[in-house]
Structure 1
Amino acid sequence: MNEAHLLYRNRQVLSNGAIIEIVIWKLDRPDPDRSHGFKYRLFYGRKGQRIVGYDNEKGKGDHRHYRDREEPYVFTTVDRLIEDFNTDVKREEEQ
């Protein structure tokens, strides 16, 4: 079994009611779906509504959700993942 160790977890509820949640784990060893050795879930939305999401659930690999679209995401580093997510969230917050 490939164990996952929590690296980072943060959840914020913004004044407008939006939720930002970032959870990142480090795997004991890479697996076929996560060759970089990280498991993650990043969410921005409201209760019952995902507006922006990044994750790499088993069987799907790294991908990004933006409103109704789902597209592949090229993971390079944890810092870049958070930066890309924050850029998408900021774009939504400015609309």
Structure 2
Amino acid sequence: MRAELLIRERRQVAPDAFIDAKVWRVPLPVRASDHAFKYSLALVAGDVCVFRYDNEAGKGDHLHRGSVELPYRFVSIEKLMNDFIGDVREWLMQRTP
């Protein structure tokens, strides 16, 4: 089985910000993860990554907030997407005067 692209989306969420979301189903777990998904979900504003959820090989599931890297507990794709969209909404609300 080859990697199967499940989600590929890039969408403008503000005049200077966009989300970039990619999720694949993989035949074997990414090193340091224990599930069959590889993902990268990012919010970028003004050419700066505000935050990103990903599971790069060797690091497992984690979240970048600016320059800080935090562990992330992966439960399911649905929860991952809900957590990401919730963070995007919160960030957008904080920018609204």
TM over 0.5: yes
> 2:62 maps to which residue?
63
> 2:34 maps to which residue?
35
CA shift digits 1:18-69 (9 cap, x unpaired):
0101100001122442211100000101253010110000111100012232
| RMSD over aligned Cα atoms | 1.6
Describe the shift of the 1:7–1:36 C-alpha distance in structure 2 as closer, same or farther (beyond 3 A).
same
What is the number of equivalent residue pairs in this alignment?
Answer: 94
- TM-score, L = length of structure 1: 0.88
Amino-acid identity (%): 36
4+ residue segments displaced more than 6 Å: none
Structure 2: 5+ residue stretches without partners: none
One-letter amino acid of the counterpart of residue 55, structure 1: D
